[in-house]
């Protein structure tokens, strides 16, 4: 089997390099407990998800947009009866999320150490710029990356523009990430190569249907940092 020449490996950040989705799940649980006197848990979560998706165009991804969506949901589901104290509780949840320690996923540091110097390493993540920059700094991983890009959304157009600006041929870049919708399919559409590393929990908005996947055929997938290393040895020819 002929190996693919790669000059750049890009990683998603949240739930690929470090744990993140648990922060949102835990905050959702606290939020639900605040509103359970008004509605069922299922309805609160369903409504919150609807508001989050509705607000993406206005607030983007990340903790700040999530917080505003929680406040808006609380106002709507209580018909305006939510108190200032309860809004303050929501804001406190957000501050705790921002200040939470960064837990790097198993094997990631060793993987990055093994790749450093063999190719250009970068992070492509979406969300709030301040929050994402803080995460990479607190993770202890920044020393391994040559480039760190925070984008408002991850779609084919975003990736094409980014690759063009950085003068990276699309067929020489490998994207590694946990989200099929954000990290894998749009990179393939842009002409790149992608490796899916599923996380054990994923926001519903990031899920894709079997029908959406049909046109792509088999998609490379592994389950851990150790398996990433093995896959790279088998499929990728690095410039180093």
Indicate whether this model's pTM tops 0.95.
no
Tell the residue number behind the tokens 């991804």, with chain if given. Answer: 61
How confident is the model at residue 29, as a pLDDT?
94
How confident is the model at residue 1, as a pLDDT?
59
Q: Rounded CA gap, 141 and 104, in Å? A: 9
Q: Rounded CA gap, 71 and 48, in Å? A: 10
How confident is the model at residue 239, as a pLDDT?
62
Q: Rounded CA gap, 174 and 11, in Å? A: 8
How confident is the model at residue 127, as a pLDDT?
86
User: For the segment 69-99, what is each residue's pLDDT rounded down to a tens digit?
Assistant: 999 999 999 999 999 999 999 999 999 999 9
Q: Which of 34, 30, 42, 105 is nearest to 74 (CA)?
A: 34
User: For the segment 186-219, what is each residue's pLDDT rounded down to a tens digit?
Assistant: 999 999 999 999 998 777 777 788 788 888 888 9
Give the domain ranges of the chain: 4-18+102-238, 21-99
Q: What angle, rounded to 10 degrees, do the helices at 84-99 and 63-77 form?
A: 160
How confident is the model at residue 227, as a pLDDT?
97
CB 230 within 8 A of CB 205: no
Task: Tell me which residues of the chain have a pLDDT lower than 50.
Answer: 240
How confident is the model at residue 2, as a pLDDT?
76
Q: 21-99, what's its fold?
A: DNA polymerase; domain 1 (1.10.150)
4-18+102-238 is classed in which CATH architecture?
Answer: 3-Layer(aba) Sandwich (3.40)
The SS3 assignment for 228 reads: helix
Q: What is residue 106's DSSP assignment?
A: T
How confident is the model at residue 61, as a pLDDT?
87
How confident is the model at residue 229, as a pLDDT?
96
Q: Report how far apart, in Å, the C-alpha atoms of 82 and of each of 108, 232, 239 are.
A: 43, 52, 58
The SS3 assignment for 220 reads: coil
Q: What angle, rounded to 10 degrees, do the helices at 21-35 and 41-59 form?
A: 120
The distance of Cα 147 from the centroid of its chain, to the nearest Å, equals 17
């Amino acid at each position: 089997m002929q190996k693919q020449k790669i000059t750049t490996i890009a990683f998603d950040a949240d739930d690929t390099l470090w744990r993140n989705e648990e922060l949102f799940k835990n905050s959702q649980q606290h939020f639900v407990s605040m509103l359970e006197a008004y509605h069922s848990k299922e309805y609160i979560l369903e409504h919150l998800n609807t508001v989050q998706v509705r607000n993406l165009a206005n607030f983007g991804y990340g903790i700040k947009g999530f917080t505003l969506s929680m406040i808006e949901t609380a106002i709507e589901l209580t018909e305006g009866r939510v108190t200032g104290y309860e809004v303050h509780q929501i804001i406190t949840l957000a501050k705790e999320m921002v200040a939470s320690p960064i837990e790097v996923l198993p094997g990631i540091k060793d993987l990055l150490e093994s790749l450093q110097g063999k190719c250009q390493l970068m992070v492509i993540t979406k969300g709030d710029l301040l929050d994402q920059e803080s995460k990479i700094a607190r993770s202890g991983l920044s020393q391994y990356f040559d480039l760190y890009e925070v984008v408002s959304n991850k779609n084919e157009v975003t990736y094409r523009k980014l690759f063009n600006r950085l003068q990276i041929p699309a067929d020489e870049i490998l994207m590694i990430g946990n989200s099929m919708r954000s990290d894998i399919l749009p990179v393939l559409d842009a002409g790149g190569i992608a490796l899916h590393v599923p996380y054990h929990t994923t926001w519903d908005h990031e899920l894709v249907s079997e029908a959406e996947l049909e046109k792509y055929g088999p998609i490379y997938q592994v389950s851990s940092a150790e398996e990433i290393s093995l896959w790279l040895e088998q499929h990728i020819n690095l410039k180093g």
